[in-house]
């Protein structure tokens, strides 16, 4: 009991001294639960089961951000996982957001809910002719893949990617993904 009180006291002291100032900007708000709202899956049926869609509070994610997540059973290379940017382009579901998309840079390694993959930023041309930011993620889990696409002002930023990692790593989302992939 004394150890717990001591640990809590030390944590309070560190916060009081401003040690939390070394965390990335917006870190605390981007990881708090109320910032995500589940919304209806907006896409028509294709060769994969529908996934889940979420909207992040703009203040928490650094701008507007919608995220679409779904497993793709049996689509991943069982021995090496996600192999590169071309695979992210092909499987991350960014093409559901807009048929005309351009990568803005190479993919970066990400880890979410115990899965490893790549996240890549894109610029989309929407039907109205405007441009929007997007990011595609492909994560491997054994021989299965988790595709995640995001769109909005914050998409592709480190802050948004951290918020998406937090979302996908939430116990209820990670369990839903494991349940879906456990069916294979």
- Average pLDDT (113-131) is 90
Q: Which tokens in the block code for residue 47?
A: 């060769």
Higher-confidence position of 84 and 27? 84
Taking only the tens place, the pLDDT of each residue in 47-88 is 888 999 999 988 889 898 999 999 998 876 677 778 899 999
Q: Considering its fold, how many domains does the chain have in total?
A: 1
Q: Which tokens in the block code for residue 179?
A: 């349940």
> Residue 155: inside a domain, yes or no?
yes
> Residue 5: inside a domain, yes or no?
no
- List the domain range (segments joined by +) for residue 118: 25-182
- Average pLDDT (7-24) is 32
> Residue 1: inside a domain, yes or no?
no
> Residue 41: inside a domain, yes or no?
yes
Taking only the tens place, the pLDDT of each residue in 136-173 is 999 988 888 899 999 999 998 989 988 999 999 999 99
> Residue 146: inside a domain, yes or no?
yes
> Residue 6: inside a domain, yes or no?
no
What CATH number should be reported for the domain holding residue 107?
3.40.1000
> Residue 142: inside a domain, yes or no?
yes
């Amino acid at each position: 009991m004394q150890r717990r009180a001591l640990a809590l006291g030390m944590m309070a002291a560190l916060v009081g001294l401003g040690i939390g100032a070394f965390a990335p900007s917006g870190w605390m708000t981007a990881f708090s639960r109320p910032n995500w709202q589940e919304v209806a899956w907006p896409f028509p049926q294709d060769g994969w089961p529908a996934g889940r869609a979420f909207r992040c509070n703009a203040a928490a994610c650094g701008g507007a951000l919608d995220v679409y997540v779904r497993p793709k059973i049996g689509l991943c290379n069982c021995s090496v996982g996600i192999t590169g940017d071309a695979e992210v382009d092909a499987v991350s579901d960014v093409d559901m957001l807009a048929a005309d998309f351009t990568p803005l840079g190479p993919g970066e390694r990400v880890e979410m809910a115990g899965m490893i993959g790549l996240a890549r930023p894109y610029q989309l041309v929407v039907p109205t002719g405007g441009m929007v930011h997007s990011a595609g993620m492909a994560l491997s889990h054994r021989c299965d893949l988790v595709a995640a696409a995001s769109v909005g002002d914050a998409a592709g930023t480190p802050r948004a990617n951290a918020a998406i990692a937090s979302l996908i790593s939430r116990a209820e989302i990670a369990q839903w993904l494991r349940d879906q992939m456990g069916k294979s």
